[in-house]
């Protein structure tokens, strides 16, 4: 069974393939130029569409009927699988909120810049994580502070 993060990466890769125009943002262009913003806007919209489609499929399967496994072990296994599926959908529901936030930042001209430092996040990071709001350094510092807070 694939991991939740693995599923997220697979869906993002599928969204990138669905764009199909061959354009990839490049460091040789002006940072957050119109073609780059358009690319990320389309990527985020496609990613969201794929997530919503998967959620609709899950909902349809749930509506098709309850689990009717005669063997208790098979039923327990099916229920565990459904639990994992529903947790995945919940995680993706939260991801949609982050995608919507990224789309809003594109419209407001804030996309691609760290919310902490104001520095460019970088095309490599945005290609790997289009919803990123911080540079790698700012994210690491944030996670260190978070860990220290939990440990106290």
Chain segment 100-139, per-residue pLDDT in tens: 999 999 999 999 999 999 999 999 999 999 999 999 999 9
Taking the model in full, what pTM does it have? 0.77
Give the span between the Cα atoms of 121 and 1, in whole angstroms: 33
Tokens of 97: 């909120």
CB 102 within 8 A of CB 111: yes
In sequence order, what are the residues at sequence separation of 6 or more whose Cβ sits closer than 8 angstroms to the Cβ of residue 115? 133, 134
**Mean pLDDT of the residues in the chain:** 84
Chain segment 26-40, per-residue pLDDT in tens: 999 999 999 999 999
pLDDT (0 to 100) of residue 11: 82
CA distances from 2 to 5, 6, 139 (A): 8, 6, 26
């Amino acid at each position: 069974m694939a991991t939740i993060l693995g599923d997220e990466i697979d869906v993002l890769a599928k969204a990138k393939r669905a764009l199909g125009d061959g354009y990839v943002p490049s460091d040789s262009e002006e940072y957050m130029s119109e073609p780059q913003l358009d690319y990320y806007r389309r990527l985020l919209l496609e990613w969201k569409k794929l997530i919503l489609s998967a959620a609709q499929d899950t909902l349809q399967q749930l509506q098709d009927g309850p689990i009717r496994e005669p063997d208790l072990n098979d039923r327990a296994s099916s229920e565990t699988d459904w639990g994992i599926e529903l947790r995945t959908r919940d995680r993706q529901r939260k991801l949609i909120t982050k995608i919507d936030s990224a789309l809003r930042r594109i419209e407001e001209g804030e996309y691609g810049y760290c919310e902490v430092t104001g520095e460019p996040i970088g095309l490599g990071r945005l290609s790997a994580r289009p919803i990123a709001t911080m540079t790698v350094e700012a994210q690491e510092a944030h996670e260190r502070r978070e860990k220290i807070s939990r440990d106290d």
